[in-house]
Each structure stands twice: as C-alpha cells, then as structure tokens.
Structure 1
C-alpha cells in the first residue's frame, strides 16, 4: 500500500538554451530531494530511483506506481545570464491532479536561498494537503559562499554519477577545481574520495595509490565535519575493504545513518554488514527501508539478491541476478553471485558455462581459478580438480593473493578439511583480507559451520564496538493537554472573529504567524486535536460561509461560483470537490434542495 505522505522529486527539466546547464538542473533536483528527506514523517524517494525516469516520457501514474509514492514534484529551470527562473508543481498520482504550482525568478548568486525557499514552500504545501509534518525553519544549508565552486562541484557530481572510469577521472578534475576556489567545500572532498575509491575497488586505477588519495580526501572532510553522512559511509567502506575491520566499518555505517536517517546507501551497507554477521533480521530491516526509498537502484536489487542468497532462497536470488545481468552483462558482483547460486543448486553445467565462457575482462584470474577448482570439487571430479587445486595453493602462498586465499578456504571447506580451512582464515587477520570476510559465512562454506571452531572465529571476526548512541529528539511540535486546549480556544475564536479563511492565499504558515504559534505546532494541533489537515480545516469554514451567503436573499443575483470566490475559494474545481465531500451534494444540488433556487 502506498504511503500517503510520500513523494518523488523528478529530475528538473533544463529549459535553458543548449545543454551546458543540465548539471545545474540535476543539482537543484538533488538538493530538494535532500531537503525534503530531512522531514521525518515524509517518505522521499532517493536520487537514483528518481533519476531513473530522466528523459523518459511516461505517464505520471506509472511513475508513481513504480516508485511507490502518492505524490510527485515536477519542475523546470532556465538560466539566462545571471538570472534563474525555476518552476515547480505538485501532482497527486492517484488522479493526476496538480494541487500546487509556483515560479521563482531570482539572481544566480542567490541559488542556496532559492533552494531553501523552494524546499520550504513545497514542504508547507505538502503539509497543508497531506497532514502534519514537522518542518525545520531551514532545510537547505549553503555548502559554500562561492557559487563558482558550487558550479564546479555540480559538474563533477553529474559526471561521476555516470559510473565509469572515463567520467570518474573527469569528475576528479572538477572536484579539484571546486576546492581550489573553496578548500572547505566538504562535498567536493567526499566527491574526490568517492571517485578515487570507485577507481580503486573497480580496478580502474592502481589500488594502493587510488586508496591513498581517497583516504587523504576523507581525512580532509573529517577535519571539516566528522559527522557528515557521506563521509562516514565512505569511511565504512574503507574500513571494510582496506582494513578488514568489521567493527570499525559497522561503527562508521551506523554514524552515517545517525547523521542522516534517510541515507539509502548507508542502509544498504548496514544490511550487507548484518548479512555477513548472520543477523538476517536486522539486515532485512535496513534492506526493506532502502528498497522503500530507492526501489529502482540496481545496487538495491543486488543487495536484495545477495540477501536471498545468504538466506538460502536460491531460486528467488537467481531471478533477481538474471534481471541484473540482462540490464548490464558486465555486472561482475551479480555474475559471481549467480555462479555461487548455481553451485549451491548443483546446476553445474550452467555454472561451468559462466565460469569458462565469461569475457576476458570479466572474472579475474585467481577468481576464475578458484571457481573452477570449487566446481570440480563439488562435482567430485578428483582427477580434474587436483591440478587446479595445486595451482590455487601455489597462488594462495602469497601475502596479498586475497582471492586465492578466499577460494582456497572454500575448497578446503568443500573437502571437509576444516583445520586447513581455518589456517587459511588466519590470513584475514594477518593481511587484512576483506575477501576472506565474504567467504567465511558464505553458504558455500556451509560444511565448516558444524566445526567447533566456527563460532569461535565468528565471535572473533564480527565483534562489534559499543553502538552509536543517538540523542532522543523531542517532538518540538507536540503540546501539553493544557496548552493544546488553550490554543484550540484561541484558534476557534480567531476563526470566528477574524475570518482568515476568506483570504484565498491563506497558508498554514501565515495563519500560525497570525496566531503567534510555530507552524509545526499548528499543524500538530489540527491533525491531533481536530483530526484534519490544514486544507480540510480551512475549507470547512469556507463551505459554511458559502452556505451562509447562499441563504442571504441579498446575494440572489450572485452566481454560485461568485459566492465561492467570496468565501475564500480560488478554484471552481476545488470548490466543487470540497463542497461535495463536506455535504454529500454538488453546489447545484444543494442550492436546489434548499429551496433557494425558486
């Protein structure tokens, strides 16, 4: 069931001449997504899933169903000289109705103030339409005082989001340009760290050099803000993949979520860590949240497939992995996991085809050797695996042959050579091998689970630090019973004596200002004590006022829509919809039944 308080921000359309400001559109879209995601009661689709629909002309109802949201935000941006023109509109997915739209014309130098203004305006309108949301007074913090640095950062981010080595290297250049202008732009530091770690993990750059540069950028970001969510996500990855330090990785991942509870990547990585630790309940919780806000991200689908594999739901895992490989035949994690699935299912012929017929640039040599050896062992082909086994043992004798270590561990397990398997596992601690981490609890290592040493290693490998303690946030909107009663009395008196509902432009924020309340408190009061959102509450007064005007003989010459406008409505469609909901009749039916139409 779609959550009513949910929204996806679709990529803003660039209406500027040429394509050079495309990155600016993407940047503003991302900032609005990040801003709205700060509202705890609102479910906001992550960037990757929202941007899946960029350039695709699909019905809004279909997009809403795919993303599982009740509302969509569309927008456009035009840059002309030093001016920005931004338009945005909110759409209800269920009936394709546009319930708010607005435009802004501002100076480019005011970009951060514009983003905050737009985000707050959107949040206010959603609250009036959907019900209580607790909204901060400011949703967008200026990351830099220098617009040119921000422009270079956005260009770098736009390139890096293409996820290939050529664009990642170009992105590095733009991040460096941004930092030349503003050395304290933390997003550019984390952008550099992300780009270098991507090149290191994917094998597109010398591993040690690329990781060294990534770590240097992380340290600079840490000096600026150690709580930063993307930074802690990167630190979690670095602790796992270069230090094989599970506890430290878990601590950084938890900090990422503590700093930004809606951070999809952080939830994905925490799910992954809990899978390795065999805590499938917690893994499932984090994975479900990541899927709810980032359902179309291929990485989310891979984590779901890996979760199914680790849960030994091999048939279901296979379906998802085949979908991933159909979309991207070079998805190496999906390919390797699919081979694992086929080995567990004893579909040896299919596994063999994938192992030996994969492109040269796909599976790395030690991994292909290890998979081939494991396949022959599981098939019981002693004569064929012995030569492969000897070669694998020779390769695993090196200190940094991490993939050979991992597969030798699995092969020993398949051969029920537990003592030898655990002797290989010691290299995890000696040489900081994250690949051995992955192999330890893998379903392919199932024979080792029955050994008395297995739980001892499990405890040693997956020891956790003290959990991150998040301070309990008090709901600042909630009023005591006595205060709520007093405010309700003031509100009712104000509505009766001042009739603020007659102003068509009345907003929850402006009414709160008139009552000298915080908007969050008024929102809470209406929803908790009146059982209505702002629009329903105000429109109830407008309908009552319309009926009063209709009964006055002095208004007999005024049309029904004219009376509606005098009652505070500014749309015929909204008036008709609200009136029927309040009275069960259309305005014409009500007029006729009242006897006033004679």
Structure 2
C-alpha cells in the first residue's frame, strides 16, 4: 500500500533581510527559450540539477521539485507562490539551447515583496554542462549566503556524472517522461535510460532512474512484483558500486528492506543514510516519519513529517503521509479531513481510500466502511482491502452472518496468488475482535515467511484490543529494535569554525580593513572576494559575520555604505549631487536596496534624514 504512493497518483516596499534562520528557497521551473519545444526536457533538467545542488547545503531548506513544478506554466504572482511554498526567496530563470551553445539566465527574488535582488547570465558550450551547472549553483549559493546569513558551501555542488553529453541528454529525457507517473510514460523512460547506459554503462543516475522505473511498474502491477523489485535491487546495487553517495539509492534500499525483506533495521539504517546525505530528500524524510510512526516514536515521526511538509508542501504524497500519521496517532477526525483533501485533488488515489476506510472503522462509522468500495471505480478497488474492511466492519457491527461471509471471502483471497493484502487484513480482523491467539499465531507465521505487510500492520490502531497482551510488547521489540532509537542527537552539532582568540583577531582585522581600505565602496564586493582580502576562508568569514557581529554579509557591508552616505550627503561640496548619485558613489547599485538599508539603519528615509 505504501510503496511509491506518489505514483498512485509597480513599486514594492522591501522587507528587512530575512532572519538568519529563514534560509528557505524554491527553484521555479526554468523557462525553455529554445526554438524547439522538444528542448523542454533540458530546461526541466537544469532546474532539477540546481535543486539537487542547493539541497546539498546543510542549513538551507530547498523546496522539492514536486511542489515547485506545480507552478509550471501558471500565471501566479510571486508573493502568492512564496506563500504557498512557505519560502522567503524564489529562483527563476530560462534556458536557450542552440546546437552546441546554451544561454542560461537566473535571478533571485524576494518572495514576499516580489523584487529581484540578483541576476546573472551565462553563455557557454554544451560540452561544459556540468561545469556550468556547478558554477551557477555555487554563485547562487554565495548570493543566498550573503542575503540569508551563514551556512557552509562546499567547493563543488555538481559532480560530473558522465563524459557523454548525449548520455546526459537521454537521462534528462528519461527523467522528464518518468515524472508523468503513468505506466506508458514510465516504459518510455526505461528506453531513454537504457539508451543512456548503452553510451555510458557507468552513469549511476541513469541506473537509479531505471531502478525507480522498474519498482514503479511492479507497484502498479504492470510487471510481476518480484521481477520488478528484483531488477530494482540489482540496478541499485550497481549504482552504489559507482557512487556510494546517492541518497536516492539508499531510499530504494530502504523500500526493498521494508517491503520485500520485512527487515525494519535495514530499512531504518538505509533511510537514515539517505537523510544524512541529503536532508532535503523529501521521500527519505517521509519514509523516516513512516518508520518512526510504526515504532511508536511520535515526536520523531512528526519532526521528519514537518521537514517533509516544509520541503514539499504541495505534494499529494506528503499530504497523504500527514493523514496517515494522524491516523496512526489516533487523531481520526483530523486524519479523515486530511485524506478527504487529498481525494479532492485526486479521487483515484488508492492508498488514500485504503486508510480512509480504516479511519471510518475506528470512528464507528461501520455502514460507511462496509459500503465504501462499492461507490468507487472498479479499477482502483483492491479486492483484499474491500473484503478486509467489510469483514472488520460487519464483525464490529455484530452482523454475524455477513461477518462470516466476508471473512470467508477474505480467507479465499489470502490463499490466492499475491494475497498479501488480504492476509494482512486477517490479522487486523483478529486484533480488532480481540482474538489474541489467532492474532499472535498470524504474527509468528508472518515472521517465519517474511510477510511484506507484517511491519505495516502490526502497530495499526485497529489491533488496539490485543496491545495489552504481554506478547504484543515482546513482538514489538523484536520487529522494531529499540537500540536503533538510542542515538546521541548531540553528535550532529557542529563546532565553531574559529576558536575565540582567532575570531577576535579576524574581527579586528575586518574592522581595520573597512576603516582604512574601504572595500564597501566596490559595488561588486562579494563575501568570497572580501574573504580573500582578509586572508580567511569564505566559510569562516560567513561564520564570523554571523557569530561575531550578529549580521549577514549584506547587513555588515551596507552598514558601512550607509555611514559613508551620511558623511558625503552632509558635505556642502556634494550639494549639487542627487541622493542616488551619492548612494552609488558609496557602493550601492540598487535604489531599492539603498532605501531599505538606510531606513533599517537610521529609522528614516534618505530625504527625511537630510531634512532633519
């Protein structure tokens, strides 16, 4: 039920610089400016690569592709997009591809006030695509750090994935078709991925794409379950042999461990690894929330769910997980409301229907539960789920005749091919009716044969009547090893980049440089160029500004520019100059930025200051 659920489916007044903790950005789909619409895959690919690159930065919250692509081709105001995504900054751009040449433009926008505070254009050769992506991502990261405050940036954010541009383009075409989430297009994506791998067999990302495609087709029963997941396992293993730092690969391993091998420990370790490699990998955040929920660790589950919701707020998969967690934590009314909201968007969402019937049963709405699947299109009804909800509903209603009839149907389905779902409902039925011996006999048998749904069903609220039995706790500790949760959370805390004595020395050096050499008069001054002037690494300077002065780079530099303006503007020799002429002489290159920082520093507009 839970594998790859996404597949079921004028002038502006500028606010002060965002708080140092408000480090959120969404990358909107880059516009295809090429002559051919067929190059759409390339602009989509550039967008995804920049999202993935920025997502590597610890401390920067980057919205997932699923939510940002929701706005593709839509005419929605920037402030509204920022509000819906819950971000302070947006990145938009365009891509023009012509033969072996490409032009990429990008601009950063304050989401709340809808103004551009940085833009750049790159004209490059396609042969250097990865170097260009790295250059763009690094520059964007630098500008975000200057605007937001401290976070550390690696030397490179984009790795060379293949030496073949043709293989890379085929991989992007595979990604574009796969993201349409239907069997026909996924089969076409397999062709693109295979063509890419024929050119470069060591293209790890294409291997993972191919693995994902096979797991999708197995999940929606377009190919045999074991065949699809077996191929997924083989391809994922090969991809990790090429690149052991792929969060997508560990996410696949987590799914394989949980749903195929019924191994919670391995699933937890793989999902944890994926999150550690990329905290912005939303699928892994969701999976961690799922795993913690099953183990009864509510606060941990909600922490990961909140991360997923902040990364991918418009994703139906994330919304489904939210409804599921509410169900599992016995907030049935809230869960039902969340699930119904999902169905308004996609009435064909099979997992949502499954959990909704469980909610109805727990709320005592038995008549609705037993008749629920009759009102749905037959093609989305899973026979085991229908028979299971009916058997439990009739049993709880004490309608013995119908309870017996539907239980017999459930048993027949459970004994058939791929009867995993029906079989798991037999456990839910036994647990709901407090038939302890029968319930725990099922658990013992499921452990022996490695039932793929044992872990999923064991903690379900429907079996609450048997949870007081000592055997329940014993099996729970066996299925969900408690030592996995005894992790020292302090280990992740980072130490200071500079010791106290060194930091004090660099603070003094920084103040001296600004007072004597006046670098703030340079309009193109950047944190990285200033760090070279001071003789310190850019990451260390960023840390020093935030921790030593309580300011980000822009705030620190523009303070000196404002002070410079105040001196020059009050000098009678400059009376013939306009306000903005003086501001530009002080290093400002934007009227909006000048007015904003001046008001922030003095509490007055420039005109009010001069009159006063």
TM-score (norm 1): 0.94
* Correspondence list, 1:366-381, <5 A: 366-381=384-399
Question: What SS does structure 2 have at the residue aligned with 1:58?
Answer: coil
Distance 1:182 1:556 in 2: 67
Structure 2 contact 55–62 (Cα < 8 Å) conserved? yes
Q: Is the 8 A contact 2:31 2:95 kept in 1?
A: yes
Name the structure 1 match of 2:127: 109
Equivalent residue runs for 1:40-79 within 5 Å: 40-79=58-97
For 1:43 and 1:76, the matched residues in 2 are separated by 22
Residue of structure 1 equivalent to 2:530: 511
1:202-249 deviation line (CA, Å, top 9, x unaligned): 212111221221121112112223342111100110111111111211
1:145 to 163, 174, 197: 163
Residue pair 2:22, 2:88 contacting (<8 A) in 1 also: yes
The answer on 1:226 being equivalent to 2:237 is: no
Aligned partners of 1:10 and 1:29 also within 8 Å: yes
Match of residue 428 from structure 2: 410
Q: What residue in structure 2 maps to residue 596 of structure 1? A: none
* Counterpart Cα distance in 2 of 1:327 and 1:466: 37
2:47 paired with 1:29: yes
CA distance in 1, matches of 2:439, 2:492: 48
CA shift for structure 1 position 470: 10
Alpha-carbon distance in 2 for matches of 1:399, 1:103: 58
Following TM superposition, by how much is the alpha carbon of 1:534 offset from its aligned partner in structure 2, in angstroms? 1.5
Q: Aligned ranges for residues 2-401 of structure 1 at < 5 Å?
A: 4-397=22-415, 401=419
Residue-by-residue CA offset, 1:395-449 (whole Å, 9 max, x unaligned): 4346853123212122222333211222122232232212232222211112221
Is the Cα–Cα contact under 8 Å of residues 285 and 307 in structure 2 kept in the other structure? yes
Whether the 8 Å contact between 1:171 and 1:195 is mirrored in structure 2 is yes
The answer on 1:563 being equivalent to 2:555 is: no
Report if the CA contact (8 A) 2:78-2:112 is conserved: no
Runs ≥4 residues deviating over 4 A: 397-400, 464-477
**Distance in 2 (alpha carbons) for counterparts of 1:407 and 1:78:** 54
Change (3 A) 1:427 1:358: farther
In structure 1, how many angstroms separate the alpha carbons of the residues matched to 2:265 and 2:426?
25
Q: Which moved more, 1:497-506 or 1:152-161?
A: 497-506
Give the direction of change, closer, same or farther, for the CA distance of 1:589–1:425 in structure 2 (3 Å limit).
Answer: closer
1:427 aligned onto 2:450? no
Give deviations 1:6-43, integer Å, cap 9, x for gaps: 11111111111231111111111111112212222222
Q: How many residues of Structure 1 are paired with residues of Structure 2 in the alignment?
A: 593
Distance 1:236 1:320 in 2: 26
- The answer (yes or no) to whether the contact 1:251–1:465 under 8 Å persists in 2 is no
What's the offset of the Cα at 1:385? Answer: 1.9
Partners of 2:523 and 2:203 in 1: CA distance: 42
Residues 400, 431 of structure 1: 8 Å contact kept: no
CA distance in 2 between counterparts of 1:128 and 1:215 reads 43
Q: CA-to-partner distance for each residue in 1:299-351, whole Å, 9 max, x for gaps? A: 11111101010111111110111111121111111001101111111212222
Q: What root-mean-square deviation, in Å, do the aligned CA atoms of Structure 1 and Structure 2 show?
A: 2.2
- 2-side partners of 1:255 and 1:221: how far apart? 16
Change (3 A) 1:481 1:469: closer
Distance in 1, Cα, partners of 2:414 & 2:48? 45
Residue among 526, 533, 544 paired with 2:552: 533
**Cα distance in 2 for residues equivalent to 1:155 and 1:308:** 38
**Match status 1:495 vs 2:514:** yes
Say if 1:175 and 1:545 are closer, same or farther in 2 by CA, change over 3 A.
same
Alpha-carbon distance between aligned partners in 1 of 2:432 and 2:521, rounded to the nearest angstrom: 78
Q: Distance in 2 between matches of 1:51 and 1:538?
A: 36
| Distance across 2 between alignment mates of 1:578 and 1:347 | 59
Distance 1:399 1:101, change over 3 A: closer
> Aligned residue for 1:479?
498
Q: Is the 8 A contact 1:247 1:465 kept in 2?
A: no
**TM-score (ref. length: structure 2):** 0.92
Measured in 2, the distance between the counterparts of 1:85 and 1:227 equals: 30
**Do the aligned partners of 1:504 and 1:568 also contact (CA within 8 Å) in 2?**
yes
Task: Tell me the distance in 1 between the aligned counterparts of 2:386 and 2:399.
Answer: 17
**1:269 CA drift (Å):** 0.6
Aligned CA distance change for structure 1 residues 565 and 413 (closer, same or farther; 3 Å): closer
How far apart are 1:471 and its partner, in Å? 11
- Mapped to 2, the partners of 1:446 and 1:521 lie a distance apart of 54
Picking from 441, 452, 465, the partner of 2:459 is 441
Change (3 A) 1:179 1:505: same
Distance change >3 Å, CA 502–CA 209, structure 1 → 2: same
Query: Does the CA-based 8 Å contact 2:82-2:90 persist in structure 1?
Result: yes
8 Å CA contact retained: 1:227, 1:255: no
Q: Gaps spanning 5+ residues in structure 1: where?
A: 594-598
